[in-house]
Chains A and B, each alone.
Chain A
Amino acid sequence: MPYLGSEDAVKELKKALCNPHVQADRLRYRNVIQRVIRHMTQGVDMSGVFMEMVKASATVDIVQKKLVYLYMCTYAPLKPDLALLAINTLCKDCSDPNPMVRGLALRSMCSLRMPGVQEYIQQPILNGLRDKASYVRRVAVLGCAKMHNLHGDSEVDGALVNELYSLLRDQDPIVVVNCLRSLEEILKQEGGVVINKPIAHHLLNRMSKLDQWGQAEVLNFLLRYQPRSEEELFDILNLLDSFLKSSSPSVVMGAAKLFLILAKKFPHVQTDVLMQVKGPLLAACSSESRELCFAALCHVRQILHSLPGHFSSHYKKFFCSYSEPHYIKLQKVEVLCELVNDENVQQVLEELRGYCTDVSADFAQAAILAIGGIARTYTDQCVQILTELLELRQEHITTVVVQTFRDLVWLCPQCTEAVCQALPGCEENIQDSEGKQALIWLLGVHGERIPNAPYVLEDFVENVKSETFPAVKMELLTALLRLFLSRPAECQDMLGRLLHYCIEEEKDMAVRDRGLFYYRLLLAGIDEVKRILCSPKSDPSLGLLEDQAERPVNSWALDFNTLVPVYGKARWATISKCQGAERRGLELPNTASLAASGPLIPEEDKERVQELSDSGALMLVPNLQLTAEYFEKTWLSLQVAHQQVVPWQGAVHPDTLQMALQVVNIQTIAVSRAGAQPWKAYLSAQDDTGCLFLTELLLEPENLEMQISVKQSEARTETLSSFISVLETVIGTIGDIKP
């Protein structure tokens, strides 16, 4: 075919469609129509031949009919007037003796998506619902939802809804499932289709007749149903038992979710269910379909949050193979990091060590970070592996290892000696900002144990003019001043040079201010400097607590088998935030987080907090002295009494927060350094009756929500809720007055 511009093509096809000779020859006619569709598929605007195509719909050739209807559905919104002309043919086809034609016409008519079509489709849909062919009924049932969508926000048609409810008894399994889907769509505003006892039991009985899509769908709808008694609950679980072993991974996941939700008050049942789906999940993790494998791995991680030992004996299943895509490898490394235990640690570490030298830098770095994570429990082995990695003198490896070391000595001070011995020589293989900052921090804080620390820092001072990252300069200032305190003779001269440079030549205001601040601090005398700069060098209690942060199954059961675990919680939070207020308004009105996100007026806050603590039954004791050890012991022995998230923007300023909490008599036990990711804090408070409130604040890397978990030494809901409102107010205030 010669190349034609789209206008020429339309003209030519129009001519052909009108040509009576073409129309008389069915084969030629159909070929012309196929060419129209081909152009349409390629994105050429073919709306110009609408009239001619409408005429072509009057044919006995069913394939031609399909093509014409497809065309009409595509262009009807552009040509609503002309489309109305086609309605007649469509209506006639809706009473064709051939059920295929009836179904096709009805489906197309309902998909026209143009104003004014509703009045024409109502009757055919009602006829379709009572059609003797199930093929037509399937189409008609979904047609009801399409019609409702066309109407927009209009009244729900009660008679139609009743008809759909009664069609749940239809013989055809797809009609039944379509009914549920359609009702859900129509009753969206009222909370969706109602699953009462007769419906629930009816659906349960039909389950085995449904295909995998239907089964997954019904399992999802059954989440709505709350069994009346324990007996009924277990009857339902027994009926559904076999679906936990379905050959379709989506049915397995759907069944698992239903079990977890229905059995939310029976932790042993939940554990048992997770045991049962272990096999199918593992099978899905080595599925040929990489995407299903990925989804399964995400859910394995979710389960591991609550049951850390759950997959430990199957650790080999999570070893990466050469040809797997990146996203699977990264998930597997995360899983390995979480399932490690005394028996498999040796093998897992050997495996991870192999990944550290992978050609893909991203993958290698993920493996190093994973070893860093395992190091919190198995410190010596991991530090040894990490040290050996430094010998490779690879830039991308060295920088991540040093960052891992920095985080590690903060949590596990016992490894400081080994880390200090490994550091010399690293500076030659670090070029990026993050790596330099980590190295300089280590040299500053632990410089007294590293013989050549001053000389390494001196190199940085020499090259400070060509340093591009302000953050590195800031870190350098602090580190050098710290080192000056322990090794003054070696540092004095270069400290002078650095301060001079920062004050006289530096263009970045933050660096310059920091330089000036230190200069004035030095003028105030060395004791003053020590008082300000000598903060703790580690916080082991934070590490211990972090390891124990197991989440109860119920905290994620509702998100199971949705997009949430597949995106990851943090990323999901970002996405749902981006998706705007209108959706949030629809989905969240009943959850507690709305109360927390209500606006507060900053000036009145302090009084409000006082008021709250005065007026409620809650009186927090001032100056409560609690040791970190006692806190830890109590924390581990208690269950989470309340958990919620409040919105949060940006990083946390621990000092401000600590001060604000002090005002309302909440003590800070342990806190991450500013900017750590994830950032955590542990708080304690006691009321006048001696009841302890232990709190964990958790800010995930995305920095969008602060998760608050509160444990209480005596279960009393009134005081708990007043404590939480105090805490919320403080956090809300801090969030608002950030600089």
Chain B
Amino acid sequence: AGVRPLSFPQGRRRKRRRRRRRPAPGPPAATMSASAVFILDVKGKPLISRNYKGDVAMSEIEHFMPLLMQREEEGALTPLLSHGRVHFLWIKYSNLYLVATTLKNANASLVYSFLYKTVEVFSEYFKELEEESIRDNFVIVYELLDELMDFGFPQTTDSKILQEYITQQGNKLETGKSRVPPTVTNAVSWRSEGIKYKKNEVFIDVIESVNLLPSCPCVHPQVNANGSVLLSEIVGTIKLKVFLSGMPELRLGLNDRVLFELTGRNKNKSVELEDVKFHQCVRLSRFDNDRTISFIPPDGDFELMSYRLSTQVKPLIWIESVIEKFSHSRVEIMVKAKGQFKKQSVANGVEISVPVPSDADSPRFKTSVGSAKYVPEKNIVIWSIKSFPGGKEYLMRAHFGLPSVEKEEEEGRPPIGVKFEIPYFTVSGIQVRYMKIIEKSGYQALPWVRYITQSGDYQLRTS
């Protein structure tokens, strides 16, 4: 509906001629197309590969690892390498390299996105994507590579849909013919028809991650001490777990400031969201018109939307540290942590990891609360605090011995990392006001909401 009738066959040739006489309108469309995709082990040996186009010799991959090593030595390694006419776009995931080769001046971010999508799909099949799981499941890997891409172009990449017709059970004997899932032909490509649940429910998770923007401690030491110069950035996501029958229509209501302004409501309790991004299922035109978030959801887990907060707040957990290194004898560490959030809230599972020199030994700890543990393979001390109420302040001291012979290599200055989770709390004050669920069979469905604030990229530099 709404598609205008098209007319080409006759007009086409004439138009093309006219077009060709014009000065070149632009370069050839640099479409994404991968000639082949390789999965290599950490030494660069191909574990599995798929030749999609046949325009690049598969032996070209032999140049990849030497090239990578050479560039690394030169200090000029980038995720894009070239050898002759061939471009290698690669990502590294756990102990694997995923490499796409192409001859075209392709669209780099699209190729990287595709490789990450491949990782995501594989991970959902094998839990852990690593060398072993590729070797153990090479049949499924081939099957998936075949469906993910054809002739170098991405095809079906939605793992939920793929799981409907490529199953691990497929490895067991299956005499019955596998059917094409209706989704592959559906107009709503992200949801199959005929889904049934006994109990219709939707779980909504509002998750806000706190990133700490780095700042140099020496700039304003006096201001920094009370933690007001270092600012955090909040990235929020709303995730849904959908157990609903049929083809339901959902509408989500938030205390969105723009909406409140549109409808003339009191905007004090509203939240200003920036850079809002939605899952493909959300009707963007409706959101643009009247800020309504309406959609037919995919089945199961998915991320409905993400947003950024324009206001910056002070760090929720503030760390002060003194690390004193007495060469050839000892290191003394003092770390103070302060909860800078509401007294009623509690941060759970707080883990503060403090770097120590790699040649440190004989650790001793003293903590006012929680426990400290030395993790020599990562050269850190982890101070864990099970529950950390807002407004409280705790202290940890650590003492390490240092060998009398110092090692040659200079070490970097790794930051202090903090992990935490604060339930029933959002920094922004965002609220789900309603979730309307309408399905033509008219069943009653229950929405459940949960709010969590957690640490994202939360690191503090040591001086």
Residues of A within 8 A of B (CB): 26-27, 30, 34, 37-38, 41, 43, 60-63, 66-67, 70, 74, 98-101, 107, 111, 113, 133-135, 138-139, 142, 145-146, 149, 162, 165-166, 168-169, 171-174, 177-178, 181, 184, 188, 190-192, 194, 196, 198-199, 201-202, 205-206, 208-209, 211-213, 216-217, 220-221, 223-224, 226, 241-242, 245-250, 253-254, 261, 279-280, 283-284, 286, 289-292, 294-296, 316-317, 319-323, 325-327, 346-347, 350-351, 353-354, 358-360, 362, 558, 561-564, 566-567, 575, 578-580, 583, 587, 590-591
29 pairs from A and B in contact (CB 8 Å cutoff): A41-B138, A62-B174, A98-B178, A100-B165, A168-B6, A172-B185, A174-B155, A190-B16, A190-B20, A191-B19, A192-B28, A198-B5, A201-B4, A208-B284, A211-B189, A211-B280, A213-B32, A250-B107, A250-B109, A279-B275, A286-B457, A291-B89, A292-B112, A319-B214, A322-B461, A323-B414, A327-B78, A359-B410, A563-B108
Given A165, A174, A316, A325, which contacts B9 in the complex, CB threshold below 8 Å?
A165
Structural contact, A66 and B143, CB atoms closer than 8 A: yes
Interface residues of B in 66-106 (CB under 8 A from A): 75, 77-80, 82, 84-85, 87, 89-91, 105-106
Other than the given A70-B142, A295-B108, 11 more pairs (CB < 8 A) read A37-B142, A61-B174, A66-B142, A181-B153, A194-B15, A212-B280, A216-B32, A284-B109, A350-B216, A563-B80, A590-B23
Q: How far is the CB of B366 from chain A (nearest CB, A)?
A: 27
Structural contact, B107 and A322, CB atoms closer than 8 A: no
- Nearest-neighbor residue (CB-CB) of B278 within chain A: A247
Q: How far is the CB of A89 from chain B (nearest CB, A)?
A: 16
Asked if B425 is at the interface of the complex by the 8 Å CB criterion, the answer is: no
| In the complex, chain B residues whose CB is within 8 Å of the CB of A360 | 75, 412
Given A26, A174, A245, which contacts B275 in the complex, CB threshold below 8 Å?
A245
Asked if B219 is at the interface of the complex by the 8 Å CB criterion, the answer is: yes
Structural contact, A37 and B107, CB atoms closer than 8 A: no
Structural contact, A242 and B285, CB atoms closer than 8 A: yes
Structural contact, B213 and A138, CB atoms closer than 8 A: no
Q: How far is the CB of B283 from chain A (nearest CB, A)?
A: 8
Structural contact, B274 and A279, CB atoms closer than 8 A: yes
Given A199, A283, A327, which contacts B308 in the complex, CB threshold below 8 Å?
A283
Given A67, A291, A561, which contacts B142 in the complex, CB threshold below 8 Å?
A67
Structural contact, B85 and A579, CB atoms closer than 8 A: yes
Expressed in whole angstroms, the Cα–Cα distance for A208 and B287 within the complex equals: 13
Q: How far is the CB of B323 from chain A (nearest CB, A)?
A: 15
Given B27, B108, B187, B189, which contacts A566 in the complex, CB threshold below 8 Å?
B108
Structural contact, B185 and A319, CB atoms closer than 8 A: no
Structural contact, A217 and B109, CB atoms closer than 8 A: no
Asked if B406 is at the interface of the complex by the 8 Å CB criterion, the answer is: no
Structural contact, B218 and A362, CB atoms closer than 8 A: no
Structural contact, A63 and B143, CB atoms closer than 8 A: yes
Q: How far is the CB of B220 from chain A (nearest CB, A)?
A: 9
Expressed in whole angstroms, the Cα–Cα distance for A135 and B156 within the complex equals: 10
Structural contact, A242 and B185, CB atoms closer than 8 A: no
Given A98, A213, A587, which contacts B28 in the complex, CB threshold below 8 Å?
A587
Q: How far is the CB of B369 from chain A (nearest CB, A)?
A: 27
| In the complex, chain B residues whose CB is within 8 Å of the CB of A74 | 51
Structural contact, A562 and B213, CB atoms closer than 8 A: no
Q: How far is the CB of B15 from chain A (nearest CB, A)?
A: 6
| In the complex, chain B residues whose CB is within 8 Å of the CB of A41 | 47-48, 138
- Nearest-neighbor residue (CB-CB) of A171 within chain B: B187
Structural contact, A63 and B170, CB atoms closer than 8 A: yes
| In the complex, chain B residues whose CB is within 8 Å of the CB of A320 | 214
User: Interface residues of A: mostly helix, strand, loop or mixed?
Assistant: helix
Given A26, A181, A590, which contacts B24 in the complex, CB threshold below 8 Å?
A590
Q: How far is the CB of B34 from chain A (nearest CB, A)?
A: 12
Structural contact, A249 and B6, CB atoms closer than 8 A: no
The 7 closest A-B pairs by CB, nearest first: A362-B75, A247-B277, A590-B24, A250-B110, A213-B154, A279-B275, A291-B79
| In the complex, chain B residues whose CB is within 8 Å of the CB of A220 | 29-31, 107
Structural contact, B110 and A587, CB atoms closer than 8 A: no
| In the complex, chain B residues whose CB is within 8 Å of the CB of A205 | 2-4
Given A113, A213, A317, A578, which contacts B157 in the complex, CB threshold below 8 Å?
A213
Structural contact, A563 and B105, CB atoms closer than 8 A: yes
Interface residues of B in 171-225 (CB under 8 A from A): 171, 173-175, 177-180, 184-185, 187, 189, 211, 213-216, 218-219
Structural contact, A292 and B109, CB atoms closer than 8 A: yes
Given B8, B47, B85, B108, which contacts A196 in the complex, CB threshold below 8 Å?
B8
- Nearest-neighbor residue (CB-CB) of B288 within chain A: A242
Structural contact, A290 and B79, CB atoms closer than 8 A: yes
Expressed in whole angstroms, the Cα–Cα distance for A220 and B30 within the complex equals: 7
Given B47, B85, B90, which contacts A580 in the complex, CB threshold below 8 Å?
B85
Expressed in whole angstroms, the Cα–Cα distance for A399 and B180 within the complex equals: 66
Asked if B26 is at the interface of the complex by the 8 Å CB criterion, the answer is: yes
Given contacts A202-B3, A213-B32, A292-B109, contact A135 B213 (CB under 8 A): no
Structural contact, A322 and B413, CB atoms closer than 8 A: yes
| In the complex, chain A residues whose CB is within 8 Å of the CB of B105 | 562-564
Expressed in whole angstroms, the Cα–Cα distance for A146 and B152 within the complex equals: 11
Structural contact, B79 and A169, CB atoms closer than 8 A: no
Given A43, A98, A253, A563, which contacts B106 in the complex, CB threshold below 8 Å?
A563
Structural contact, B8 and A139, CB atoms closer than 8 A: no
| In the complex, chain B residues whose CB is within 8 Å of the CB of A319 | 213-215
Given contacts A566-B80, A579-B85, contact A316 B8 (CB under 8 A): no
Q: How far is the CB of A192 from chain B (nearest CB, A)?
A: 6
Expressed in whole angstroms, the Cα–Cα distance for A347 and B308 within the complex equals: 24
Structural contact, B19 and A100, CB atoms closer than 8 A: no
| In the complex, chain A residues whose CB is within 8 Å of the CB of B154 | 213
- Nearest-neighbor residue (CB-CB) of B2 within chain A: A205
Q: How far is the CB of B211 from chain A (nearest CB, A)?
A: 7
Asked if B411 is at the interface of the complex by the 8 Å CB criterion, the answer is: yes
- Nearest-neighbor residue (CB-CB) of B47 within chain A: A41
Q: How far is the CB of A218 from chain B (nearest CB, A)?
A: 10
Centre residue among B112, B146, B275 by max chain A CB count within 10 A:
B112
Expressed in whole angstroms, the Cα–Cα distance for A213 and B90 within the complex equals: 18
Structural contact, B79 and A286, CB atoms closer than 8 A: no
| In the complex, chain B residues whose CB is within 8 Å of the CB of A579 | 84-85
| In the complex, chain A residues whose CB is within 8 Å of the CB of B20 | 190-191
Given A146, A294, A322, which contacts B459 in the complex, CB threshold below 8 Å?
A322
| In the complex, chain B residues whose CB is within 8 Å of the CB of A261 | 26
Structural contact, A578 and B219, CB atoms closer than 8 A: no
Structural contact, A246 and B139, CB atoms closer than 8 A: no
| In the complex, chain A residues whose CB is within 8 Å of the CB of B33 | 181
- Nearest-neighbor residue (CB-CB) of A222 within chain B: B29
Structural contact, B78 and A142, CB atoms closer than 8 A: no
Structural contact, A279 and B308, CB atoms closer than 8 A: yes
Given contacts A217-B31, A286-B211, contact A67 B277 (CB under 8 A): no
- Nearest-neighbor residue (CB-CB) of A98 within chain B: B177
| In the complex, chain A residues whose CB is within 8 Å of the CB of B171 | 63
Structural contact, A107 and B412, CB atoms closer than 8 A: no
Interface residues of B in 277-299 (CB under 8 A from A): 277-280, 283-285, 288
Q: How far is the CB of A359 from chain B (nearest CB, A)?
A: 4
Structural contact, A249 and B153, CB atoms closer than 8 A: no
Given B12, B113, B413, which contacts A292 in the complex, CB threshold below 8 Å?
B113
Asked if B150 is at the interface of the complex by the 8 Å CB criterion, the answer is: yes
Structural contact, A199 and B6, CB atoms closer than 8 A: yes
Q: How far is the CB of B203 from chain A (nearest CB, A)?
A: 21
| In the complex, chain A residues whose CB is within 8 Å of the CB of B109 | 249-250, 253, 284, 292, 295-296, 561
Expressed in whole angstroms, the Cα–Cα distance for A34 and B143 within the complex equals: 13
Expressed in whole angstroms, the Cα–Cα distance for A279 and B216 within the complex equals: 24
Given B138, B155, B461, which contacts A37 in the complex, CB threshold below 8 Å?
B138
- Nearest-neighbor residue (CB-CB) of A208 within chain B: B284
Q: How far is the CB of B445 from chain A (nearest CB, A)?
A: 26
| In the complex, chain A residues whose CB is within 8 Å of the CB of B235 | 283
| In the complex, chain A residues whose CB is within 8 Å of the CB of B146 | 66, 70, 107
Given B31, B89, B185, which contacts A184 in the complex, CB threshold below 8 Å?
B31
| In the complex, chain B residues whose CB is within 8 Å of the CB of A580 | 85
| In the complex, chain B residues whose CB is within 8 Å of the CB of A138 | 150, 155
Structural contact, B174 and A358, CB atoms closer than 8 A: no
